[in-house]
Chain A
Amino acid sequence: MTRKTATLVLDDGSMFHGFSFGFDKAVAGEVVFNTAMTGYPESLTDPSYAGQLMVLTYPLVGNYGVPPFSIEENGLPTFMESEKIHAEAIIVSDYSEEYSHWNAVESLGDWLKREKIPGITGIDTRALTKKIREHGVMMGRIVIGGTDNEGESGKVKGESEGEMPDYGSINYVDRVSCKEIIAYLPDGTKMSFPVDTDNFQLSTFNFQLLKRVVLLDCGVKANIIRNLLKRNVAVIRVPWNYDFNHLEYDGLFLSNGPGDPDTCDAAVRNIRKALDGDKPICGICMGNQLLAKAGGASIYKLKYGHRSHNQPVRMVGTDKCFITSQNHGYAVAGDTLGADWEPLFINMNDGTNEGIRHKTKPFFSSQFHPEACSGPTDTEFIFDKFVDLL
């Protein structure tokens, strides 16, 4: 038993002891729990987890290993949601050292080590989750190695103590968004342009008479791009603060992303301009919040967020209900929606807003993730709706 010990220390001083199974380094971040039972490769590479220590409530993790990090012709990873792990760390109860799957090439532990991300196993993740549920999300740090006499000082000796970041004040979107314009076609063609590229230069790219969707990248998951391309449109992916209004396009898609939407005012300003027009706009998660903000609504932070594969939503005014994949810590305050807007979906568990739509124009968005990956695929029709409007 030569396993290295590791400890999670929460902001309130409580400690959870376990063993390190990833990269041995101290990290800090917002501690959030996710109740999904599958999908650790997808979740770890979801840019929305930037800055967060991800607690998985399902205890057995690593069973099916990790698929190859292969990149398709169009630059998108085959099995992952972005080019790297974005979560700061992963916290589990029972990491499976051995894995078994035809498509696996390495263990979760090996992958974490390669990407220099810590992982802790042996934690009572249920007790930890209940603490977060009662207290709300908290900052926490992971310390590798020995500890002081537990509980005496509440302090943990580690390799480096590091500063505890202030999650709400960091613009994580800026950290994970693309830095240039990338155009994708369904046939696998991909081309990158610097952000100062003008419309004329962009038009040298052969869009093959396809509808053009501007994708505002706040930390987009690859499956959003895959879903758009699958519906035979051209995607023009632009950085989060890029003013796309001068581009020639048919529809605007606002992606998911990490952190506090209040750090993304530049995006909100650009979206607000687009609201004056009539081109279809669709948003997901952070995209929903930015659209709401552009429409005048305000955003608040949920006590512990929704991170799971089993969130029930109902389409307002109908008997239609959907199981959705979610990953968000902030929500749109439904009662602050402007007169032109109305709720489109609501959460059936806690009544929070899960999507909005414009009363007259083709603007709508969802707080949940219709692209799934990971999670249920019931709401993929959102993409159909959007593409039909183009």
Chain B
Amino acid sequence: MKEDIKKVLILGSGALKIGEAGEFDYSGSQALKAIKEEGIQTVLINPNIATVQTSEGVADTVYFLPVTPFFVEKVIAKERPDGILLAFGGQTALNCGVALYQSGVLEKYNVRVLGTPVQAIMDTEDRELFVRKLDEIGVKTIKSEAVENAEDARRAAAELGYPVIVRAAYALGGLGSGFCDNEEELDMLVEKAFSFSPQVLVEKSLKGWKEVEYEVVRDRFDNCITVCNMENFDPLGIHTGESIVIAPSQTLTNSEYHKLRELAIRIIRHVGIVGECNVQYAFDPESEDYRVIEVNARLSRSSALASKATGYPLAFVAAKLGLGYGLFDLKNSVTKTTSAFFEPALDYVVCKIPRWDLGKFHGVARELGSSMKSVGEVMAIGRTFEEAIQKGLRMIGQGMHGFVENKELVIADIDKALHEPTDTRIFVISKAFRAGYTVDQIHELTKIDRWFLQKLYGIMCTSKELHKLTIENGQLAIKKEYRNPDDCQSSIVHCQLLRKAKRQGFSDFQIARAFGLEGNIEKGMMQVRQFRKEHGIVPVVKQIDTLAAEYPAQTNYLYLTYSGTENDVQYQGDHRSIVVLGSGAYRIGSSVEFDWCGVQALETIRKEGWRSVMINYNPETVSTDYDMCDRLYFDELTFERVMDILELENPHGVIVSTGGQIPNNLAMRLDEQHVNILGTSAKSIDNAEDREKFSAMLDRIGVDQPRWKELSSMEDINEFVAEVGFPVLVRPSYVLSGAAMNVCSNQEELERFLQLAANVSQKHPVVVSQFIEHAKEVEMDAVADKGEIVMYAISEHIEFAGVHSGDATIQFPAQKLYVETVRRIKRISKQIAKELNISGPFNIQYLAKGNEIKVIECNLRASRSFPFVSKVLKINFIELATRIMLGLPVEKPNKNEFDLDYVGIKASQFSFNRLQKADPVLGVDMASTGEVGCIGDDVSEAVLKSMLSVGLRIPEKNILLSTGTPKQKVAMLDAAKMLASKGYNLFATGGTHRFLRENGIPSTLVYWPSEEGKEPQALAMLHEKKIDMVVNIPRDLSAGELDNGYKIRRAAIDLNIPLITNARLASAFIEAFCTLSMDDIQIRSWQEYK
């Protein structure tokens, strides 16, 4: 070990975004653990306040600051670390580290890069260097040409021959890249790619080849291992982040597997990695020919997946290797006796499936391609491929029950849907099988290896067999329509079929549906469950032990399977377990914040001497690190699987309130099975979740709420709207397309929305609510004990109501609320807590206009803002809540938000740049993929830090304004004045220009795209990079169409120009950067805010 290292700086990855998500919280947390146990001081820079790594006790010093060279240099100057780790914060940290190296900052402050040297990083990141480097050792890469202008791109493409792939160099997860079949497509893509990077790569497309990945580790003594290999279900052409991935590879022979393994090791040695990297290959399905696609010289989403898939903690080991250890010095962290220098042997198969949320966006392109759009992923473990993939398809949580027995998809052209994959591609395959397509036909259209298709076809065959059966009087029987007097199939055969179905991952729900128990599916599922339990068809618990049972494991990393006869765990029946239900796949609306909550609950349970048990299946999380709890069930959060586990585990109780909505939704059904739900009762949860019941309760206790009604005809809707007036918030119960919720400002919008997006009928009613404009939104996050509030935090949105609370910018403590408003909110919260007899975490959202307070929503669980308020206030709300749920005494903390001398701002991260064609506006449906939380002495400082953290830049000189309605224009007036007096050049579209002139603010008139022929054109100015920031406020809150505003907003996103679409947020940001410069921002750690 390098003995002279006393302090290490780690760079985090910032807010979660598409292409860079929770996996870096996991890798960073592991690295911090590895370094801390060496007695080395750790400093972390990461503005993502919801992460586990920024929690107390993980790093010694935490800075909630942007991970950019400017701020990192300042932290270095202040902290003077001896070493820096660049590999644990994704591309963000890597790019920042390379910039600091190149500008000489690291040398200036004598900071050593630990692990992989920066030169090796640059050799892998710069395409040309990379190809040259691999040429030196005779390793084949994809033939590509780096170009610096569009003309060269066209020439290169013509030489290579279409189809070609275009990539922006140095970009996150395929940003600005794509396939082009012709020159027209090329021109479009190249322009976009150049906006992300000065260098664009044009390369020959190998569409249809297999995609295989290896995770490789090397120590400074040149010892190498490959920890895991993975095979993409989807062939090359679909970004690996968008692919279903299987580990280990399924269709490679020994010779192929080891050929690629040997190459991976040859590459890692030649490049000179110290730590971990992954090598991605394109592999010819008809020979052993290959190409290296890329090498990532850092921890990645794949390495997080590989760690979870194998039990080998890649980030932990990589951090140790960075400190100078050899692999031979380290132990296998599962067996604790064998060496960390080994390659895991799996005795199961894992399947990763991406989670998309494309339905949340207007106009978004749904095709999958070479850039990433998924917002999260799941990992399913099984002892058959069928079991793993069916589990996984349930885990993604989009209403699917597996490969079969789903609601029928409506697909006009199956051939096209197979050939041009979208987010529903796997279900299109299911549909194609039902429609009679053969494995070969589907293979031709999709290029998915036949082996995978054969296995899926097997699931379909079992489904067809199951459809012939049903349950009658508690026994399996052939359905009447299939009965044949000559047929005397025995019940043993039926049971064997059921067993086979379970081994193939069928859920009780799927079986009940196949049995035609549709009428009362809940009851049907219970019948299936009861029948199979009576016949001994139950899953067994198996351990992931890294060595396929060759050595005993000391950890309890578990999954359930039907391919087995024996449990690996000896259950003691001591009722000492507390089961925490996790939050599942990251999605828009539920991500790392709930992982933080789950981890805090686990830690509290452990500290209090109980056995902590986690059920979760998201490989990107810290809660699925087997070190975080006493038993980890890496499995489904369905009622069926949770009950399977609870029946084995026989716990003291279950916590459903720290994992977001998934566990919350299970509360009632678990309660019906007499599961001990800790904290707030299931009945209370239901009383808060059920709109009617909750509303009635509010009326009863005299608390106001916006008026609403569930309606099932247009006449009723019109009648209700006549009473409450426009605008109204409309929530359909059945969504045809587009977003689920919408605000309608007038009759025309209302009718259009209801016709296009939702069918109103008796069966599918809509909920229409009064929408209160220009109201403040206030959040109450609190913890109560038997109905009495123990701790609370009141925070205030910067935007007015109408922006989803998950997208809003939140200030805590609230800065501009009347004392009376706060008093009322406290009083109402107390009433609600008492009425629902809350024990545990809860969150209430309020509207405040004047001193009028209305309740919009109440969740009897931890909310998204729990880590934010806990960290700003420095009181762990979840620890308190967990202690209460465990029945332990708690004291009211003698500190509250009014004591704080600083303010926290939570700002949202959007990933519109990934979501081609989506309209980047904010509305009542959530669109952000992540968040940051920064602390400052005042609002402006905190706003500036947080907005810079989500990727905005302080504009240099030119700002384009189109500020919407007259009211919004007025709201923006002060900000516009400030800009003008700071010497910014304002460019404004017609109305805004007029308004500014009337108010004596100089601006240059620019024209909308529809005002053809007039100069200057706003769009052209964007394309010519003449604009540094765009403020574009949509006129109203209805869905954006392909209008002028959309074109401007989309262009800003595609050209990577900062865009703000909300007047209040724009004003806050403008005020911040007009009153503070970058150098005014204080470099203070979280620990220094006292």
B834 CB to closest chain A CB (Å) equals 52
> Does B225 touch A at the CB level, under 8 Å?
yes
Contact B345 A60 (CB under 8 A): no
User: Within residues 346 to 384 of chain A, which ones have a CB less than 8 A from any CB in chain B?
Assistant: 348-350, 372-378
Contacts of A320 in B (CB 8 A): 221-223
> Does A255 touch B at the CB level, under 8 Å?
no
Contact A38 B257 (CB under 8 A): yes
**What is the CA–CA distance of A35 and B344 in the complex, to the nearest angstrom?**
10
User: Within residues 35 to 94 of chain A, which ones have a CB less than 8 A from any CB in chain B?
Assistant: 35-39, 41-42, 57-60, 63-64, 67, 79, 93-94
**What is the CA–CA distance of A375 and B258 in the complex, to the nearest angstrom?**
7
B226 CB to closest chain A CB (Å) equals 8
> Does A314 touch B at the CB level, under 8 Å?
yes
Contacts of A130 in B (CB 8 A): 549, 566, 568
Which of B222, B338, B348 sits near A348, CB closer than 8 Å?
B338
Contact A100 B341 (CB under 8 A): no
Contact A96 B451 (CB under 8 A): yes
User: Within residues 239 to 253 of chain B, which ones have a CB less than 8 A from any CB in chain A?
Assistant: 248, 250-253
B509 CB to closest chain A CB (Å) equals 23
Candidate in B221, B383, B497 with the most chain A CB atoms within 10 angstroms: B383
Interface size class of B (residues with CB under 8 A): 35 or more
Contacts of B345 in A (CB 8 A): 35-37, 57-58, 308-310
Contact A319 B328 (CB under 8 A): yes
- Chain B 328-368, CB-CB to A under 8 Å as 1, else 0, gives 10000000011101111111110000000000000000000
**What is the CA–CA distance of A41 and B343 in the complex, to the nearest angstrom?**
21
Closest to B338 in A: A349
Contact A126 B542 (CB under 8 A): yes
Given contacts A349-B338, A349-B342, contact A101 B251 (CB under 8 A): yes
**What is the CA–CA distance of A311 and B261 in the complex, to the nearest angstrom?**
16
Contact A37 B328 (CB under 8 A): no
Contact A1 B500 (CB under 8 A): yes
Contact B451 A1 (CB under 8 A): no
Contact A310 B248 (CB under 8 A): no
Contacts of B346 in A (CB 8 A): 37, 58
Contact A127 B564 (CB under 8 A): yes
Contact A98 B566 (CB under 8 A): no
Candidate in B250, B254, B564 with the most chain A CB atoms within 10 angstroms: B254
> Does B493 touch A at the CB level, under 8 Å?
yes
Contacts of A35 in B (CB 8 A): 345, 347, 547-550
The number of chain A residues with a CB under 8 A from chain B is 55
Contacts of A20 in B (CB 8 A): none
B424 CB to closest chain A CB (Å) equals 24
**What is the CA–CA distance of A363 and B346 in the complex, to the nearest angstrom?**
36
**What is the CA–CA distance of A65 and B167 in the complex, to the nearest angstrom?**
37
Contact B223 A129 (CB under 8 A): no
**What is the CA–CA distance of A277 and B500 in the complex, to the nearest angstrom?**
63
> Does B384 touch A at the CB level, under 8 Å?
yes
> Does B149 touch A at the CB level, under 8 Å?
no
> Does A167 touch B at the CB level, under 8 Å?
no
> Does B563 touch A at the CB level, under 8 Å?
yes
Contact A100 B548 (CB under 8 A): no
Closest to A2 in B: B493
**What is the CA–CA distance of A124 and B565 in the complex, to the nearest angstrom?**
6
Candidate in A37, A310, A349 with the most chain B CB atoms within 10 angstroms: A37
> Does B9 touch A at the CB level, under 8 Å?
no
> Does A103 touch B at the CB level, under 8 Å?
yes
Contact B254 A312 (CB under 8 A): no
Contact A59 B253 (CB under 8 A): no
Given contacts A60-B349, A321-B223, contact A129 B251 (CB under 8 A): no
Which of A57, A323, A373 sits near B225, CB closer than 8 Å?
A323
> Does B996 touch A at the CB level, under 8 Å?
no
**What is the CA–CA distance of A33 and B497 in the complex, to the nearest angstrom?**
29
User: Within residues 971 to 1008 of chain B, which ones have a CB less than 8 A from any CB in chain A?
Assistant: none
> Does A102 touch B at the CB level, under 8 Å?
yes
Contacts of A103 in B (CB 8 A): 253
Contacts of B328 in A (CB 8 A): 314, 319, 321, 348
**What is the CA–CA distance of A122 and B500 in the complex, to the nearest angstrom?**
10
- Chain B 497-516, CB-CB to A under 8 Å as 1, else 0, gives 10010010000000000000
> Does A125 touch B at the CB level, under 8 Å?
yes
> Does B285 touch A at the CB level, under 8 Å?
yes
**What is the CA–CA distance of A352 and B552 in the complex, to the nearest angstrom?**
18
Contacts of B221 in A (CB 8 A): 319-321
**What is the CA–CA distance of A246 and B338 in the complex, to the nearest angstrom?**
46
**What is the CA–CA distance of A311 and B338 in the complex, to the nearest angstrom?**
10
User: Within residues 169 to 224 of chain A, which ones have a CB less than 8 A from any CB in chain B?
Assistant: none
Contact A58 B497 (CB under 8 A): no
* A interface majority secondary structure: loop
Given contacts A35-B550, A319-B221, A349-B551, contact A310 B343 (CB under 8 A): yes
Contacts of B224 in A (CB 8 A): 378
A147 CB to closest chain B CB (Å) equals 14
Closest to B257 in A: A38
Contact B341 A312 (CB under 8 A): yes
Contact A98 B542 (CB under 8 A): no
- Chain B 468-503, CB-CB to A under 8 Å as 1, else 0, gives 000000000000000000000000010011001001
Closest to B261 in A: A376
**What is the CA–CA distance of A36 and B254 in the complex, to the nearest angstrom?**
10
Given contacts A59-B347, A59-B383, contact A64 B252 (CB under 8 A): yes
Contacts of A349 in B (CB 8 A): 337-339, 342, 551
> Does A242 touch B at the CB level, under 8 Å?
no
A179 CB to closest chain B CB (Å) equals 29
Contacts of A126 in B (CB 8 A): 347, 383, 542, 548-549, 564, 566, 568
**What is the CA–CA distance of A35 and B550 in the complex, to the nearest angstrom?**
8
**What is the CA–CA distance of A85 and B225 in the complex, to the nearest angstrom?**
31
> Does A249 touch B at the CB level, under 8 Å?
no
Candidate in A39, A100, A101 with the most chain B CB atoms within 10 angstroms: A100
Which of A38, A58, A99, A374 sits near B451, CB closer than 8 Å?
A99
- Chain B 217-237, CB-CB to A under 8 Å as 1, else 0, gives 000011111000000000000
> Does B265 touch A at the CB level, under 8 Å?
yes
Contact B563 A94 (CB under 8 A): yes
Given contacts A37-B345, A321-B341, contact A129 B550 (CB under 8 A): yes
B381 CB to closest chain A CB (Å) equals 11
User: Within residues 548 to 579 of chain B, which ones have a CB less than 8 A from any CB in chain A?
Assistant: 548-552, 563-566, 568
**What is the CA–CA distance of A323 and B340 in the complex, to the nearest angstrom?**
11
Contact A378 B265 (CB under 8 A): yes
**What is the CA–CA distance of A96 and B224 in the complex, to the nearest angstrom?**
32
- Chain B 307-329, CB-CB to A under 8 Å as 1, else 0, gives 00000000000000000001110
Contact B254 A57 (CB under 8 A): no
Contact A38 B254 (CB under 8 A): yes
Given contacts A321-B223, A378-B265, contact A63 B251 (CB under 8 A): yes
Contact A57 B564 (CB under 8 A): no
> Does B438 touch A at the CB level, under 8 Å?
no
> Does B450 touch A at the CB level, under 8 Å?
yes
Contacts of B349 in A (CB 8 A): 59-60
Contact A375 B254 (CB under 8 A): yes
> Does A135 touch B at the CB level, under 8 Å?
no
> Does B796 touch A at the CB level, under 8 Å?
no
> Does A133 touch B at the CB level, under 8 Å?
yes
Give me 16 A-to-B residue pairs in the complex whose CB atoms sit less than 8 angstroms apart, sorted by A's number: A35-B547, A59-B563, A60-B384, A63-B451, A64-B451, A93-B563, A94-B503, A94-B563, A98-B455, A100-B451, A102-B286, A130-B568, A133-B550, A321-B221, A376-B261, A378-B262
> 17 additional contacts, CB 8 Å, given A310-B343, A377-B261?
A58-B248, A93-B563, A102-B287, A124-B563, A124-B565, A127-B566, A133-B549, A133-B551, A308-B550, A312-B338, A312-B341, A320-B223, A348-B328, A349-B337, A375-B254, A376-B343, A378-B265
Residues of B within 8 A of A (CB): 221-225, 248, 250-255, 257-258, 261-262, 265, 285-287, 326-328, 337-339, 341-349, 383-385, 449-451, 454-455, 458, 493, 496-497, 500, 503, 540, 542, 547-552, 563-566, 568
8 nearest CB pairs, A to B: A39-B254, A100-B451, A98-B454, A57-B548, A348-B339, A127-B566, A35-B345, A35-B548
